[in-house]
Amino acid sequence: MASVRKDPDAGERLSILSNDSRYDLACACGTNDDEHRRRSKEDKWIYPVVLPNGGTTYLFKTLLSNECVNNCKYCPLRAGSDTERCALSPEELTRAFISYYNARRVSGLFLSSAVTGGPDATMERINRTALNLRRMQFRGYIHLKIIPGASEAAIRQSLSLATAVSLNIETAGEDNFKHLSTTKDYLRDIIRPIQLISRLTAKGSRYAGVKQTTQFVVGASGETDKEIIGYSWRLYRELGLSRVYFSAYQRGAGSQELPGERSDRTNSELLAREHRLYQTDWLIRKYGFRADEIPVDRDGNLSLGTDPKEMWAKSHPEFFPVNINRDDREKLLRVPGLGHVMVERILSLRNNGARVGSIENLGRRNKLLTKAAQYLAF
């Protein structure tokens, strides 16, 4: 039975709801320590995040409510779970955000909610909060969560108010989704709204400036990495999403009915799997790899012991060695140990008439350069 607090004040409710918002990563993932999700000692619901365009900001990140009618089996806030329930009104949250914004502690808002009273009733409260802020002349960053099953009218209103939106895809495909929820329909409530947002934010459309992101819950439904990679590829190439995020399902967080609860992988291995998926995402978005080039084992999963770029190199000896003084940017980016910064340094040296005679010409030898040297010709 869920525990209920009597009359917690707005600050206490905000603390509870911001703590529960940590389960949604669809705006928060970094590549260095300064960008990872964490909280200050004083303002524990403020998150440093990386925006889809590569910039950074501090977001006031919270839920409007954690009282949910859905039974998403991976979610600690699902209907019937034993958690402290509470909610904030749009006006309470507007006041809280503005006080932090005026104190220059935050520059934007990430707002989500559990589903209370149905998708559109929840969207009305989310959108009303954003509308309150826009009417107060707040011009900054607002990321709004789109609730699965929301109507087109509710989605259009969100797009008219937001800088970015996200609707979590949760898993790869309808068959996998059946393990996660009996209260949501995968095609109707998730895929079709994502497709709608894609059309409404396409180049030349009214909401073309609004970014769309999504998130997979990795390991909850028993899906393979190959399935996730294939869906991610289509989300980028066919629907134009700005970012895809991955959240490793941690055993014990959800229902015992989940396939993820029966997995023989440890929680540590599940986190490693999340990391490999982010590396794969980087290869697809930044390095020119296709989904069908990403190496997986016979079960359709990435290696946990070796990064996917190096696995690709090991399986394509015919591609190497790459000539550091003659080959183009695309070939250099396929070399394990070379990233964008190092490749640009190589090209700069070449453009200035220099010849790279050894790996030491690129700087002090480290693990990455030592690895790269194995795949290069000078």
User: For residue 13, what pLDDT band results from cuts at 50, 70 and 90?
Assistant: confident
* Per-residue pLDDT tens over the stretch 222-234: 999 999 999 999 9
Report in angstroms the alpha-carbon separations of 375 from 315, 318, 319, 335, 370: 13, 11, 9, 6, 10
Arithmetic mean of pLDDT over the chain? 88
372 three-class SS: helix
Query: Amino acid identity of 69?
Result: V
Q: Please spell the DSSP secondary structure of 262-324, one letter per residue.
A: G-SS-HHHHHHHHHHHHHHHHHHHHS---GGGS---TTS---SSS-HHHHHHHH-GGG--EET
The predicted pLDDT at position 365 comes to 86
Report in angstroms the alpha-carbon separations of 116 from 113, 131, 321: 8, 19, 58
- For the residues 166-175, what does the mean pLDDT come to? 97
Higher pLDDT, 23 or 21: 21
pLDDT at 352 over 50: yes
The predicted pLDDT at position 76 comes to 84
Determine contact, residues 353/375, Cβ cutoff 8 Å.
no
pLDDT at 44 over 90: no
pLDDT at 376 over 90: yes
User: For residue 121, what pLDDT band results from cuts at 50, 70 and 90?
Assistant: very high
pLDDT at 7 over 60: yes
Q: Which residues contact 98 (CB under 8 A, 6 or more apart)?
A: 133, 136, 138
Q: Which residues contact 80 (CB under 8 A, 6 or more apart)?
A: 2, 71
Instruction: Give the whole-angstrom CA distance, residue 269 versus residue 130.
Output: 39
- Write down the domain spans for the chain: 10-309, 316-377
The predicted pLDDT at position 5 comes to 46
User: For residue 71, what pLDDT band results from cuts at 50, 70 and 90?
Assistant: confident
| The token pair that represents 108 in the structure block | 């934007």
pLDDT at 124 over 60: yes
Residue 144 φ then ψ, to 5°: -110, 135
The predicted pLDDT at position 106 comes to 85
- Sign of the torsion angle spanned by Cα atoms 29, 31, 32, 35: negative
Looking at domain 10-309, what is its CATH homologous superfamily? Aldolase class I (3.20.20.70)
Determine contact, residues 158/143, Cβ cutoff 8 Å.
no
157 C-beta neighbours (distance < 10 Å), count: 20
Higher pLDDT, 308 or 262: 308
Instruction: Give the whole-angstrom CA distance, residue 120 versus residue 203.
Output: 27
Determine contact, residues 308/280, Cβ cutoff 8 Å.
yes
The predicted pLDDT at position 48 comes to 62
The CATH topology of domain 316-377 is DNA polymerase; domain 1 (1.10.150)
User: For residue 4, what pLDDT band results from cuts at 50, 70 and 90?
Assistant: very low
Residue 35 φ then ψ, to 5°: -105, -10
- For the residues 32-48, what does the mean pLDDT come to? 47
The predicted pLDDT at position 267 comes to 84
- For the residues 60-80, what does the mean pLDDT come to? 88
